[in-house]
Amino acid sequence: MLNIILDQPKVSPQASGWKYFISQPHQPFFLLGALQSLLAISWWLIDIAGRFGGLYEPITWAVAPAVGHFYLLILSTFPLFMFGFLMTTYPRWMNGLQIDRELYLTTAAILGIGMIVGYLGLFLGFSVFLIAVTLNITGWIVGLYALVKVYFNAERPDVTHALITSSVLFIGLDLLIGYAYGIGHSDYGIIALAKIGGIW
């Protein structure tokens, strides 16, 4: 699979650092995913230090810490790596057209903005956090559109792993929407379902 990622149209790094960085879908997504991993762990440590460590008064977040922690790691971190990988490999798997740069950069930008707004929302209040979740949902929809576009225009749309990953991403989107509904209506049953489904 590594060969699939590396076997991309070559753009010289010397030509332009930014042009090279955005020349392949996995690069912006993987960078965002790595950044989100560090931020999510840092946020969790800050929460634990006050809530269990007694270093300062526990911080009151926009949502319960466990609800926020699950969202940051499962519904906001892993999808960045998934979209980065799949947007690079889908065209190779199915002999399809490369994903439009505008589409994968738009997806990365929406998810990246949603990531930043998510942390602001945890501090500033529930309404801002809900905006972040909505941005995340929007990014998923744009990303799925980009992948589905490749699928329906590919020479080999019957590739099993493409069908499986597409289905899993649609399920993930449903769980994310369910999470948004759950926190918006204080329905912890729906939140728990999104958590269990997201982990699996």
Answer yes or no: is 4 within a domain: no
Q: What is the pLDDT of residue 158?
A: 67
Q: What is the pLDDT of residue 93?
A: 82
Q: What is the pLDDT of residue 2?
A: 43
Instruction: Label residue 15 by pLDDT band (50, 70, 90).
Output: low
Using one digit for the tens of pLDDT, what is the confidence trace for 173-194?
999 999 999 999 999 899 999 9
Judged on CB neighbours under 10 Å (0-12, 13-18, 19+), 19 is: exposed
Using one digit for the tens of pLDDT, what is the confidence trace for 119-162?
999 999 999 999 999 999 999 999 999 998 888 887 776 677 78
Answer yes or no: is 14 within a domain: no
The answer to which of 44-48, 67-71, 155-159 has the lowest mean pLDDT is 155-159
> How many separate domains does the chain show?
1
Residue 166: partners with Cβ closer than 8 Å, 6 or more residues away: 144, 147, 148, 151
- The alpha helices in the chain, defined as continuous H runs, are 2-6, 17-21, 26-51, 65-70, 78-94, 101-124, 126-152, 160-184, 188-199
**Tokens 């634990």 belong to residue:** 48
Mean pLDDT of the chain: 88
Task: Look up residue 63 and give its DSSP letter.
Answer: S
Mean pLDDT throughout 105-116? 97
Answer yes or no: is 130 within a domain: yes
Instruction: Label residue 81 by pLDDT band (50, 70, 90).
Output: very high
More confident residue, 165 or 158: 165
Q: What is the pLDDT of residue 13?
A: 52
Which residues span the domain enclosing 104?
A: 22-199
Q: What is the pLDDT of residue 12?
A: 55
Pairwise CA distance, residues 80 & 32, whole Å = 7
Answer yes or no: is 6 within a domain: no
Residue in 127, 126, 111 with CA at minimum distance from that of residue 77: 111
Answer yes or no: is 2 within a domain: no
Answer yes or no: is 11 within a domain: no
Using one digit for the tens of pLDDT, what is the confidence trace for 28-44?
999 999 999 999 999 99
Letter string b/e over residues 29-58, b meaning 16 or more CB atoms within 10 A of that residue's CB: bbebbeebbebbeebeeebeeeeeeeeeee
The answer on pLDDT for 20 being more than 90 is no
Answer yes or no: is 121 within a domain: yes
Q: What's the half-sphere exposure (Cβ side, CA atoms, 13 Å) at 160?
A: 0
Tell me the percentage of the chain whose pLDDT exceeds 70.
90
Letter string b/e over residues 172-192, b meaning 16 or more CB atoms within 10 A of that residue's CB: bbebbbbbbebbeeeeeebbe
Q: How far apart are the first and last CA of the chain?
A: 22
